[in-house]
Structure 1
């Protein structure tokens, strides 16, 4: 406690010194208050508040105290200009420093101490009267700091309210900010007084060829159109962590996504630069790593699986069989384990030099034995750890073994989580799944058309913001699909991909009918981005879906490959039942990890150099901007005319 108190005082003193140059006020949070309400009250942005109160990004607690920058909505930037003024005095206030006073009046340390000799011996004292030397008499010219003021537009603000605040006219505001004559975007930085720094114009004439080429290159860069993609906000993410992830300032991120002014919410779709997506040139090659096995030294692989045996043994109400019937999480764990055992046995048959250790992680969402197992079993010396199942526990494991860069492979969670460099997320995110579908259609140079139900607002927003070139098929006044509109968007000599997102049976039937009737003259293919249960009903003819080669993205393959058939045979022999998706994943993930461990390079090197496909799952890892790895291995599947599901190539 004493140590904590010392640290707290040190931090407090440091904070006090930092803000001594800028006035701040405090605000006590009332129950139900939101960050945007507080920001508007004090005429600052939520970002300004978050800068002084980083913890506020996790949510506001009633009765907590926030530091508010006393800026009244305006930020002041100093621009030096030379000017002569008469000698004046200054009364030293609390928390002021010599440096701050010198900067305020634009005088040097030498001149200030020369005019106030007592400063050499007594130092700066509260209440002292300082003589500020005249700027007309110093030996060297001294600059005076002239202010210009700007204002960041907040939600619900108008030109009228802003001009009233600063005592200027709307005409003056528009003259200084011609970009806002027609609109007033939230987050836009207005110049209120003074003149903002100008960008020097490039000379129109030059005699040097190199200079001309340089200007042309700069012009090309300036005209480069940035492509954007959608990113879904994950739990625990903040404005700060998002800005770091996307290599942007928080202001730039808010400018692209004005809704962030009201705070970060889980599930928000953000507009971010597409450079974070793997381009076609960056796509990894799928390779059979099993051909490059090295047998030189043995590897140690550890599995941390949540059997929670102690809970089963202490359950006096339910028998083991009854618990298995009720406990879905335990069934999932056992299925994964059963698949993993077959992978371990297969590796043993192949002679892979790997020692496998399996421990009961005894985990729930908020608790586990992970830390004690890592400590007691010395897992910092392991070569790879599969598990734990819960994201929070996988993060604990990654942190504890991070010093040795031990890979921690998260089997089932697709949460983005904290950016640990040695944490590997094996489930592709929803963003990666939809992105893979659009990447495929563009790779095939297809003509993409959207038929989206008005109820699918998130899909409409996604396409409008991140795939602006994709047109939407029109609807009639009665709300039904316009077949004429759809057919009018079809293009000859090119595959026309119709992206259909609706749960409405009539809309599906009318879309399918319009596409089928167009087939004699056009190439058409039906596409969905998310699972659609309505397509499985008797009202939708399966023959039409196969005729249109219904295509969709999927984390797992829905067809039986030769490798999958072999695994199913082994699994049925060992367990007398067909494997579930969790059992298949247990096999695929465990076997893929073991194959990567026996290569003549580190696990991370194999991830960076090659992608793999195992049975029902792909493992195409990419390094995230903020650290760690995410899997973008997605199948593009379609219904063939022979009534089977196949992978599109």
Structure 2
């Protein structure tokens, strides 16, 4: 403790030299919280954490904290810059006018303004005119379709008058593709370098295509999302169609999953011969028949795995029946894979039934058994479709994972929020170490809302991290009921002043308890990523009615998945192309599942067909657009 206290004293002495009278100190008393201390000095918890980052972990008695003072203006010893502390009701325009600096210059030396916006208590560096003029860069912008003078001026923080002054040709018209001068002085013609002149550069230009996301660009380029953002800071505001970015010069622009067009595959008719599909499903008939304790009916009541298998089988039979009705030349064989988590009889099935000649194999259910099947059929490149496993699996060229992984679900959720240009903050239980690790490694720009000593969230701490005039997405990951209730209460209290929406990254059973108000979840439009959706379209109702008629029960998620996986596989085999070629070219959407395959690092394919769902005000769950 003495060593810890000595460090704080040293820091205090250093800070007094730099900040003069702009900070004061506070000695923490037992039982005090950051929120109480912030109220005492009329600052925000965020202000205190900025000067005392170690206080986020644990607030110890007798710790000396630095508290920002309320004075608005101070002179730094450099003699070149002054700083300004943002007071309530101040605006960027007012501050820029007060110091006679431009919006661009102020943001250049205070880059956090681009991401966080102007917040009470921020200390801004005010650049001198000499410093900014010498560093001013020339910036151009090519006019895109549907852009206006207003949208372009707003994007770069200038006025329409300033834009027209630098580009007098656009006073009466704004042609698409016009090369606008945004900032700086025009260069001579001989100094202009084409954007594509990367002869000696490790990078080249790439134009964003429809439906591409930060996640898909990361996979295509082989860069992490953080590396892409560092190379292309404009991506922090969202991925937009037509945006030009820099990518590694060795990037191969192949058919990436997010660039695929969703299509309803219709069967081609010019086929010679018939297609052959095999379903390997774990009925485990020998064990059911050998059960001397339970009758078949009793076992059906107990055995969840068998019920899941039979539901999937019932859905697959409906898909096979649909193919027959359409007159498709497909022969389907169904085998009992007799599998457990640790083994199966797929080797004997493959050998005895010559499955090397099959056009596709659906199953088995367990990941290790699906991989064993894929290896047995790899030499003949027979597609093996794993219908239910969520495991990442080993790289096998002919293995196709149909269930999106948890990392894909998370990435799709963050891509959606960034595409909406929202402010993303996270409330994460300290016990959720895997989520914290994921955010630190993959979503470094997402800020964590500081928690109280008892793990709850205060309205003041949350509001200090919200931004005006944008949607504030609050990602909440905890199973603690009280933490959920305080987070919801804090968000509801912020609604009069801010746009807020609650987000979950994975299922949370606690939200289904009676202690959590469903009405509040609706108010906050709870949003989350999902592998499936509820299909309430006329086609979906027809499917449900037909299933009930055949099976005297409503279709479960496994039954619908059995139909979707089987029907999608059959339609892909009816395209006069290989299964792999259709996977590389087309994404599909069946009744409740999407199939948007991408080639994994190494070998094999995985699915990233994900829905973003939310609770709507009419008390239904809808797909977010």
TM-score, L = length of structure 1: 0.57
Q: Which residue in the other structure is 1:371 paired with?
A: 347
Distance in 1, Cα, partners of 2:575 & 2:477:
44
What secondary structure is seen at the aligned counterpart in 1 of 2:332? Answer: strand
> Is the contact between residue 293 and residue 595 of structure 1 (CA under 8 Å) also seen in structure 2?
no
2:556 counterpart of 1:580: yes
What's the CA shift string for 1:412-448, capped at 9, x where partnerless?
1122323221111111111111111111111111111
What's the CA shift string for 1:546-596, capped at 9, x where partnerless?
111100011121453433322211111011011121111111111111111
Change (3 A) 1:215 1:286: closer
Q: Which residue in the other structure is 2:405 paired with?
A: 429
Change (3 A) 1:532 1:418: closer
Q: Which residue in the other structure is 1:162 paired with?
A: none
Distance in 2, Cα, partners of 1:455 & 1:438:
21
Q: Which residue in the other structure is 2:320 paired with?
A: 344
Distance in 1, Cα, partners of 2:388 & 2:201:
47
2:417 counterpart of 1:441: yes
Larger gyration radius, structure 1 or structure 2: 1
Residue correspondences, number: 399
What's the CA shift string for 1:379-425, capped at 9, x where partnerless?
11111111112222212221222222111101111223232211111
What's the RMSD between the two structures over aligned residues? 3.3
Q: Which residue in the other structure is 1:15 paired with?
A: none
> Is the contact between residue 294 and residue 599 of structure 1 (CA under 8 Å) also seen in structure 2?
no
2:341 counterpart of 1:401: no
Change (3 A) 1:533 1:476: same
2:571 counterpart of 1:599: no
Q: What's the CA shift for 1:327?
A: 2.0
Distance in 2, Cα, partners of 1:288 & 1:339:
19
Distance in 1, Cα, partners of 2:461 & 2:560:
44
> Is the contact between residue 276 and residue 625 of structure 1 (CA under 8 Å) also seen in structure 2?
no
Q: What's the CA shift for 1:281?
A: 8.4
What's the CA shift string for 1:58-115, capped at 9, x where partnerless?
xxxxxxxxxxxxxxxxxxxxxxxxxxxxxxxxxxxxxxxxxxxxxxxxxxxxxxxxxx
Q: What's the CA shift for 1:316?
A: 2.6
What secondary structure is seen at the aligned counterpart in 2 of 1:290? Answer: coil
Change (3 A) 1:452 1:371: same
Q: Which residue in the other structure is 1:495 paired with?
A: 471
Distance in 2, Cα, partners of 1:278 & 1:321:
52
Determine which of 284, 288, 295 is the counterpart of 1:312.
288
What secondary structure is seen at the aligned counterpart in 1 of 2:262? Answer: coil
Change (3 A) 1:541 1:371: same
Distance in 1, Cα, partners of 2:285 & 2:461:
61
Distance in 2, Cα, partners of 1:519 & 1:311:
58
2:482 counterpart of 1:506: yes
Q: What's the CA shift for 1:292?
A: 5.4
Q: Which residue in the other structure is 1:359 paired with?
A: 335
Q: Which residue in the other structure is 1:130 paired with?
A: none
Q: Which residue in the other structure is 1:149 paired with?
A: none
Distance in 1, Cα, partners of 2:551 & 2:270:
32
Distance in 1, Cα, partners of 2:343 & 2:257:
42
Determine which of 570, 584, 596 is the counterpart of 1:620.
596
Q: Which residue in the other structure is 2:528 paired with?
A: 552
Q: Which residue in the other structure is 1:519 paired with?
A: 495
2:588 counterpart of 1:630: no
Q: What's the CA shift for 1:629?
A: 0.5
Q: Which residue in the other structure is 1:131 paired with?
A: none
> Is the contact between residue 533 and residue 611 of structure 2 (CA under 8 Å) also seen in structure 1?
yes
> Is the contact between residue 456 and residue 487 of structure 2 (CA under 8 Å) also seen in structure 1?
no
Change (3 A) 1:613 1:247: closer
Distance in 1, Cα, partners of 2:527 & 2:256:
20
Distance in 1, Cα, partners of 2:574 & 2:479:
47
Distance in 2, Cα, partners of 1:593 & 1:485:
50
> Is the contact between residue 397 and residue 604 of structure 2 (CA under 8 Å) also seen in structure 1?
yes
Distance in 1, Cα, partners of 2:331 & 2:560:
22
What's the CA shift string for 1:596-643, capped at 9, x where partnerless?
111121111111111111112111111112111111111110000110
Distance in 2, Cα, partners of 1:576 & 1:597:
31
2:615 counterpart of 1:639: yes
